[in-house]
Homo-oligomer: A and B are copies of this chain.
Amino acid sequence: MAFSFDIKHAESGSLARVGTITTPHGQIQTPAFIPVGTKATVKSVLPEAMADLGAQALLANAYHLYLQPGADILDEAGGLGEFMNWPGPTFTDSGGFQVLSLGVGFKKVLAMDAKTFRRDDVIADNKERLAHVDDEGVTFKSHLDGSMHRFTPEVSMQVQHQIGADIIFAFDECTTLHNTRPYQVLAMDRTYAWAMRCLDEHKRLTDERSAKPYQALFGVIQGAQYEDLRKKAAGDLGQMQSSGMSFDGFGIGGALDKGALGTIVSWVNQILPENKPKHLLGIGAPEDLFVGVENGIDTFDCVLASRIARTSAVYTMEGRFNLSNSGFKRDFTAIDDECDCYTCTHYTRAYMHHVFRGKEIISATLATIHNERFIVRLVDQMRQALLDGNFKEMKADFLGRYKHRSGQASD
């Protein structure tokens, strides 16, 4: 089984640690930020540029690749990495988040901020949703052509085996903070039953496709903002065994109230087996990465860095700003003079302003390279700080300078 996780250093007095994940396509030094390439491409950036900026692995979306080009195409191509020209480790999510986020009926993505709480009934009735959940799985409508599809735990495993990433996730029911507690309990029970079915199907597919590289399966911990539910889910999935297999690692997912992120992650990671890697799904704002690392998260993925790049927003050590603002028209300095990325070492803010104003494709490429480098390097610096024994100082230094401007989305 070509998958392992070795802890090289564990911080005393916290859950933070430094380790190495080994996959059939290479190693990941953790903690690590894993950039997202939803449809088997990090939007606007060539894979070599992602390697140059320090990306150790990439994460793609099973839902999107299932719909287009189809998981069978990736299987024929020799798997996700071969298809997209990325020789290193890869992840795919289960599709659970995507098929269900379509269904809430009022937001493109699941709400992640308890302050935006509204009444439970803002969630569309089941009959109005684009996704319908039952105990067996989820029926959903394609966002591409309106065609109807059904994901079950077994389908998700089959799709993810065809896509062939090194690390895949169990199919879970992803709720939102808007759901009632009784619904969260119901969804957690379903997620438990689905996790068991995922382990079974994963075992069957691993045996059936034994000539293929081993794919590690991570269980996904739900439970929203409820301590008892999160702890129960962590205890149940952490110990779960079926068909002689247990989970190779864990994802912390679902409704994560950003104000309580550290608390929720710590509830879960205190209970999950210490020696297995923990992935925080879909979280990637700078301040949240610190919270994750100090509470035992080993890997992160998030579209934030690349999504905001395409709107001209860039991270710097002094905070985030928009390159399309007219003040940058004659600014011949780098985006961030402390950054070592390709963009900062070759282009000025004036050039970036010009290509954003001109709607030139290269604006997305250059800004994405910068933002992904910023986030990858920030987590790399946390790893080094843990090894050097000065994580707290490094965090204080960073947050003292970095201004997350009010009014800007943090996820």
Residues of A in contact with B (beta carbons under 8 Å apart): 39-41, 43-46, 64, 68-69, 73, 76-77, 83-85, 329-330, 332, 346-348, 350-351, 353-355, 357-358, 360-362, 364-365
Copies of this chain per assembly: 2
**A358 touching B83, Cβ below 8 Å:** no
Contacts of A362 in B (CB 8 A): 41, 43-46
4 interchain residue pairs of minimum CB distance: A44-B361, A69-B354, A41-B362, A85-B346
Contacts of A360 in B (CB 8 A): 39, 41, 43
Contacts A354-B68, A361-B364: A73 and B43 contacting too (C-beta < 8 A)? no
Contacts A44-B362, A362-B43, A362-B44: A69 and B347 contacting too (C-beta < 8 A)? no
Give Cα A357–Cα B364 distance, bound, in whole angstroms.
19
Q: List 10 A-B contacts (CB under 8 A).
A: A40-B354, A43-B361, A44-B365, A64-B358, A69-B353, A69-B354, A73-B329, A77-B348, A83-B354, A85-B347
Contacts of A361 in B (CB 8 A): 43-44, 361, 364-365
Closest residue of chain B to A368 (Cβ to Cβ) is: B361
Closest residue of chain B to A347 (Cβ to Cβ) is: B85
**A77 touching B45, Cβ below 8 Å:** no
Contacts of A46 in B (CB 8 A): 362, 365
**A68 touching B358, Cβ below 8 Å:** yes
A306 to chain B, nearest CB (A): 10
**B76 touching A41, Cβ below 8 Å:** no
**B357 touching A68, Cβ below 8 Å:** yes
Contacts of A45 in B (CB 8 A): 362
**B39 touching A84, Cβ below 8 Å:** no
Contacts of A64 in B (CB 8 A): 358
